[in-house]
Structure 1
């Protein structure tokens, strides 16, 4: 897969891939209420989390600008 970002994107290949399982800390909350973590500066949205949560997430989708994950139970 090629994750090279168009203008305004991350600017290089995403540091994560779909299917990765990662330990993250939720740093902020997005406008839709999802938690936001960052991996090497790359934004990962994680639903059903709050600021300060330290969770393990599975990455479900990676785009040029952001990724989406879910908490691994």
Structure 2
């Protein structure tokens, strides 16, 4: 069965965990990729630098696309009421 990555490939992955040596761990079709300099939760473009029997090594080649990153609505500031957290509606009057 061919491996899902080859040396020189540039792919986008989400770092799922951090390895014992501090490298990020991602997977491509179940194949483990150790990513130097990446942190858990990041979505990044990586360049494959080595391929072994059961895993590959890679380095960060750039930021991942915004579409791939999970998005969450911003939480209101701690202690702010819902009214303070909501954006002010413009109705043509000066609010002072």
> TM-score, structure 1 length as denominator?
0.80
Larger radius of gyration: 2
Counting strand residues as a fraction of each chain, which structure ranks higher? 1
Aligned to 1:42: 31
Structure ranking higher in helix proportion = 2
For residues 60 and 40 of structure 1, the distance between their equivalents in structure 2, rounded to whole angstroms, comes to 18
Listed one character per residue, the Cα deviations across residues 3-61 of structure 1 (whole Å, up to 9, x for unaligned) are xxxxxxxxx32111111000000000111110000000000000111110000000010
Q: How many residues align?
A: 62
Counterpart position of 2:46: 57
Report how far residue 65 of structure 1 moved: 0.9
Query: Whose relative contact order is higher, 1 or 2, with alpha carbons under 8 Å and at least 6 apart?
Result: 1
Aligned twin of 1:29: 18
Runs of 4+ in 1 over 6 A off after TM superposition: none
